[in-house]
């Protein structure tokens, strides 16, 4: 393939995305009103992706609703999730809310990972946004694939992460010709992950995998060429200008993908 992007690299990128597609991720949810919240999170998606009273240690993320002082069952759930290294969120009622300037009354969870039960807006929306922030890697795309409520928040973070990575590549003090293939692969990975999060299915055959990656690679390559042309016309060049263009171009490409 032209400009330093090899077929093996493309297949590797697609295989990574297919791994997210095949990955089964769940959210363990427990506490008062857990079934109500689970139904809202799974609306339009796969109810099996939210395990009410499920094992937090076996989940991609754990959410505990604590309305009042934490009980022994609450603490046991939080402890098990924390010891397993599972991202943990706590929905707190008025009585269980940590006080400003004092130690948190909820063990094993950071203040930024607490969500008010009676806060502004939909509880499911706020939990979905926090889950997208807390869960990383393939778990985020896998959850978004099964839970449409998480999808826009996960997509936003995938695009932002890829845009920052593209900016870092463009600002790196390497040979200029090396930027384009690296940026192309990073953007193609983003587009494929967005497709997986939206429910796209990728083929298993290596040749079919490469073919499936064609549109993503072509779009990324075209964006890279346009950015390179624009960069060369700038009156002032340098790492900062290159990084800004790569960030803006990658973000625009990702935002466009989420809208089609």
At residue 213, φ and ψ (nearest 5 deg) are: -80, -10
Share of the chain above pLDDT 70, in %: 77
Handedness of CA 172, 253, 61, 121 (dihedral sign): positive
Contact 56, 31 (CB under 8 A): no
Residue 187: per-residue pLDDT: 82
Residue 211: per-residue pLDDT: 62
Is residue 96's pLDDT more than 70? no
Residue 240: per-residue pLDDT: 87
Q: Can you tell me the mean pLDDT for 216-231?
A: 76
How are beta strands 114-116 and 88-92 bridged, if at all?
A: parallel
Residue 208: per-residue pLDDT: 62
Q: Can you tell me the mean pLDDT for 214-237?
A: 77
Handedness of CA 139, 145, 151, 156 (dihedral sign): positive
Q: Considering only residues 244 and 118, tell me which one the structure prediction assigns the higher pLDDT.
A: 244
Lowest-pLDDT range of 78-87, 159-168, 169-178: 169-178
Number of residues assigned to the chain: 260
Residue 176: per-residue pLDDT: 54
Residue 258: per-residue pLDDT: 85
By the 10 Å C-beta count (0-12 exposed, 13-18 middle, 19+ buried), 184 is classed as buried
Query: What would you measure as the largest C-alpha separation in the chain, in angstroms?
Result: 65
Residue 101: per-residue pLDDT: 39
Residue 12: per-residue pLDDT: 65
Handedness of CA 96, 152, 255, 176 (dihedral sign): positive
Is residue 159's pLDDT more than 70? yes
Region of residue 3 (phi > 0: left; psi between -120 and 50: alpha; otherwise: beta): left
Q: Considering only residues 36 and 184, tell me which one the structure prediction assigns the higher pLDDT.
A: 36
Residue 188: per-residue pLDDT: 82
Confidence band of 241 (pLDDT split at 50, 70, 90): confident
Q: What domains, with CATH codes, occur in the chain?
A: 7-21+150-259 (no CATH), 26-134 (3.40.50.300)
Tens digits of residue pLDDT in 105-140: 789 998 889 998 876 678 999 999 999 999 977 788
Contact 121, 113 (CB under 8 A): no
Entry pTM: 0.78
Q: Considering only residues 185 and 85, tell me which one the structure prediction assigns the higher pLDDT.
A: 85
Residue whose structure tokens are 């993320």: 61
At residue 116, φ and ψ (nearest 5 deg) are: -75, 130
Helical segments of 87-213, H only: 123-134, 137-146, 151-171, 176-197, 206-212
Whole-angstrom Cα distance, residue 195 to residue 20?
A: 11
């Amino acid at each position: 393939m032209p400009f330093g992007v090899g077929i093996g690299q493309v297949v590797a990128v697609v295989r990574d995305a297919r791994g997210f597609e095949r990955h089964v991720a769940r959210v363990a949810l427990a506490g008062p009103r857990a079934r109500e919240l689970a139904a809202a999170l799974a609306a339009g998606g796969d109810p099996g992706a939210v395990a009410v009273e499920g094992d937090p240690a076996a989940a991609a993320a754990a959410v505990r609703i604590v309305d009042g002082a934490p009980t022994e069952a609450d603490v046991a759930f939080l402890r098990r999730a924390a010891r397993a290294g599972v991202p943990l969120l706590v929905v707190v009622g008025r009585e269980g809310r940590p006080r400003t300037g004092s130690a948190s009354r909820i063990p094993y969870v950071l203040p930024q990972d607490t969500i008010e039960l009676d806060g502004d807006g939909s509880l499911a929306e706020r939990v979905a946004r926090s889950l997208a922030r807390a869960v990383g890697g393939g778990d985020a795309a896998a959850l978004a694939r099964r839970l449409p409520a998480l999808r826009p928040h996960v997509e936003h973070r995938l695009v932002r992460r890829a845009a920052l990575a593209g900016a870092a590549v463009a600002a790196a003090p390497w040979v200029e010709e090396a930027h384009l293939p690296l940026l192309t692969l990073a953007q193609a990975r983003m587009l494929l992950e967005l497709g997986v999060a939206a429910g796209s299915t990728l083929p298993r055959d290596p040749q079919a995998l490469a073919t499936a990656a064609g549109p993503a690679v072509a779009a990324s390559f075209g964006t890279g060429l346009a950015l390179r042309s624009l960069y060369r016309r700038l009156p002032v060049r340098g790492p900062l200008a290159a990084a800004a263009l790569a960030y803006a171009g990658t973000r625009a490409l990702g935002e466009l993908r989420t809208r089609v």
